[in-house]
Amino acid sequence: MKTVIEKKNIILGVSGGIAAYKSVELLRLLVKQGANVRVIMTENAQWFVGPLTFEALSAQPVCTDLFEKNDVASIRHIQWAEAADAVVIAPATANIIGKLSSGIADDALSTFLLAVTCPVIVCPSMNTHMFESRAVQRNLETLRADGHFIVAPESGTLACGTTGPGRLPEPEDIVDRIAYYLSTKDLKDKKILVTSGPTREPVDPVRFISNPSSGKMGFAVARAAEYRGGAVTLITGPTHLPDPNNVKVIRIQTAREMARAVFENVEHSDIIIKTAAVSDYRPKDPATQKIKKEKGERVLYLERTQDILKEIGRRKKDQILVGFAAETENLEQHAETKRVEKNLDIIVGNIVGEPSSGFGADTNKVTLFYKDGTQEPLPVMGKDAVAHILLDRILKST
Ligand SMILES: Cc1cc2nc3c(=O)[nH]c(=O)nc-3n(C[C@H](O)[C@H](O)[C@H](O)COP(=O)(O)O)c2cc1C
C-alpha cells in the first residue's frame, strides 16, 4: 500500500527567503516518498539556491521564467496547474503571500498560483516583525478565507537575530502537513483513542521491568487517524518519538498510570486502538532506595497488573475496540483466543523477533483477525501503511 504522498503531483513553489535551503531537503523527502515533484522558483529565490539543485533532485526541469523562449515552456504553468494534486510554497515570502492574496500575477510562480484548483499550502517564513505586521497578517487571513492552507511558522531565534515566530518548520513537518491536507477526511467527527509504547514497572528508583516496544506502530495509527480528520488522543509509554501534529498526547510510565489515563478517556471515544505493550506483571514491593549488590541470588516477587483491554471489552458500548497481539509462536491460536476473551472487534496479530516485523522496526507483517472469524494476512509494509489499512477496515465495519 502506498503512502498518502506516493504518486501525487506536487508543485513546490520556492520564493526568495533565507529558508530556501530547507526546500531542497523538502524536495528530497517528497521524492523519497514517491511524489512526482516539479519546482517553480521566483527570480529572487535564485539568489539563495540554484535551480540546478532542484532540477537534479526532482529529475524535472525547473520553471523560473514565465517568458521562456520555447513553446513547451511558455504554457508549462497551465499544464502543471491542471495536473497538480497539491502546491506547497516553502518558504513563502511576505511578497508572494501579498501577491497571492491580491491576485497579482507578475511572474511564473504568482501566475501559476492563480491557475491552480488543487489545495495550496503556504509556509510563511520571515523576520518576526515582518510576520507580525498588519499587512502580512491581513494577507494570511485573506488566503485562509480563500481556502488556502497556512502552515504556521515556528518560533525561535531567526537568521536575522530576532526571536519569535517566523522560522520555516522542519521539512519533515511540512511533509506531514502536506499528507494531512491531501488525505480524505473519512474519520471526521470521530474520537479515536490510541495507546502505544511499553510501560516501565519500577524495581527500585533506578531500575525497571519493561519491553522493547518503540511506540512506532501506535504513533503511526495516531498520525494516520489525524490525517483522516479524527480527534485523536494518544496515550503512550516512554518513547523517543516526537508528538504527532494536532494529536493530544498523554505520556505515562507505568501500567497503573496507563490504566488511569485510558479509563479517563475511553468513555467518550468512538474507536479504541490499543497497540501498547503494557506489562502484565510488576514488582510487588518496589524498593524505595537503590537495591545494593549482595552476594548470592535475589528473588523478585511480581504481581499482576490490571488487564486494561479486557476491562474496556467488558465496558464496551457502541464502540469499536481493536487490540494488538505480539506473539512468538502459535499466532493464530493466541490472537483468536485474545480476541474472544477481550471482546475485540479486530485483533492485529504479528510474530515478533523478525527484522521486518514487530518491536522497533519501521515495517510490520501482520494478520487481521475479524469478529466473524475471518482473517486477512497482509504482506510486509511500512507501519504507516498498516495503520491506514487498519483504519479502512474499521470504517468498513461501522
Ligand atoms: C538576505 C535576504 C534574506 C531574506 N529573507 C527573507 C525571508 O526570510 N522572508 C521574506 O519574506 N523575505 C526575505 N527577504 C526579502 C525578499 O527576498 C524580498 O522581499 C523579495 O522581493 C522576495 O521576492 P519573491 O517573493 O519574488 O521571491 C530577504 C532578502 C534578503 C536580501
* Cis omega (within 30 of 0) for bond into 202: no
Residue 160 known to be catalytic: yes
Q: What angle do the packed helices 216-227 and 383-397 form, to 10 degrees? A: 60
Q: Identify the residue whose C-alpha is closest to ligand 1 atom 29.
A: 17
Cβ of 45 closer than 6 Å to ligand 1, yes or no, is: yes
Q: How confident is the model at residue 74 (pLDDT cuts 50, 70, 90)?
A: low
CA of 126 from ligand 1 middle (Å) equals 8
Tell me how far the alpha carbon of residue 45 lies from the centroid of ligand 1, in angstroms. Answer: 8
**Percentage of the residues of the chain whose pLDDT score is greater than 90:** 85
Cell output for 85 = 494534486
CA of 266 to the centre of ligand 1 (A): 49
| Amino acid of residue 264 | E
Nearest one of 79, 150, 90 to 115, comparing CA atoms: 79
Query: Which atom of ligand 1 lies closest to the CA of 107?
Result: 26
Query: Where does the pLDDT of residue 128 fall: very low under 50, low under 70, confident under 90, or very high at 90 and above?
Result: very high
Determine which one of 63, 118, 123, 160 is catalytic: 160
Q: How far apart are CA 179 and CA 44, in angstroms?
A: 28
Closest CA to 177 of 111, 78, 64, 86: 86
Average pLDDT for 355-362: 72
Q: Give the range among 121-125, 207-211, 269-273, 333-337 with minimum mean pLDDT.
A: 333-337
Q: At residue 70, does pLDDT exceed 90? A: no
Residue of minimum CA distance from atom 5 in ligand 1: 17
Shortest-distance Cα residue to atom 2 of ligand 1: 18
Would you list the domain boundaries of the chain? 9-182, 191-397
Q: Is any ligand 1 atom within 6 A of the Cβ of residue 96?
A: yes
Kindly report the protein residue whose alpha carbon is nearest to atom 9 of ligand 1: 126
What is the pLDDT, as a whole number, of residue 354? 74
Cα of 47 from ligand 1 centre, angstroms: 10
In the predicted structure, residue 200 carries a pLDDT above the cut 80:
yes
Q: What is the pLDDT of residue 72?
A: 61
Measured between alpha carbons, how far is 106 from 88 in angstroms, rounded to an integer?
19
- What value does the mean pLDDT take over residues 101-130? 95
Question: Of all atoms in ligand 1, which is nearest to the CA of residue 94?
Answer: 11
The CATH H-level superfamily of 191-397 is: CoaB-like (3.40.50.10300)
**289-338, pLDDT tens digit by residue?**
999 999 999 999 999 999 999 999 999 989 999 999 988 888 889 999 99
Average confidence (pLDDT) over 171-190: 96
Instruction: Determine the longest span between alpha carbons in the chain, in angstroms.
Output: 86
The atom of ligand 1 lying closest to the CA of 130 is 11
With 0.85 as the threshold, say if the pTM is over it: yes
Contact criterion met (CB below 8 Å) for 348 and 327: no
Does 126 sit in the ligand 1 pocket, CB within 6 Å? Answer: yes
Question: What pLDDT band is residue 364 in, cutting at 50, 70 and 90?
Answer: confident
**Taking the CB of residue 14, how many other CB atoms lie within 10 A of it?**
33
| Confidence class for position 78, pLDDT limits 50, 70, 90 | confident
Region 134-152: mean pLDDT is 98
- CATH number given to 9-182: 3.40.50.1950
How many angstroms separate the alpha carbon of residue 97 from the centre of ligand 1? 12
Q: Considering only 273-277, 342-346, 361-365, which range has the smallest mean pLDDT?
A: 361-365
Confidence bin at 196 (pLDDT 50/70/90): very high
146 pLDDT higher than 90: yes
pLDDT > 70? residue 71: no
| 125 CB near ligand 1 (under 6 Å) | yes
- Cβ burial of 80 (10 Å; 0-12, 13-18, 19+) is buried
Protein residue with its CA nearest to atom 19 in ligand 1: 95
Q: Which amino acid is at 240?
A: H
**Of all atoms in ligand 1, which is nearest to the CA of residue 159?**
8
**Exposed / middle / buried, residue 386 (Cβ in 10 Å: 0-12, 13-18, 19+):** buried
Mean pLDDT of the chain: 94
Average pLDDT estimate for 111-140: 96
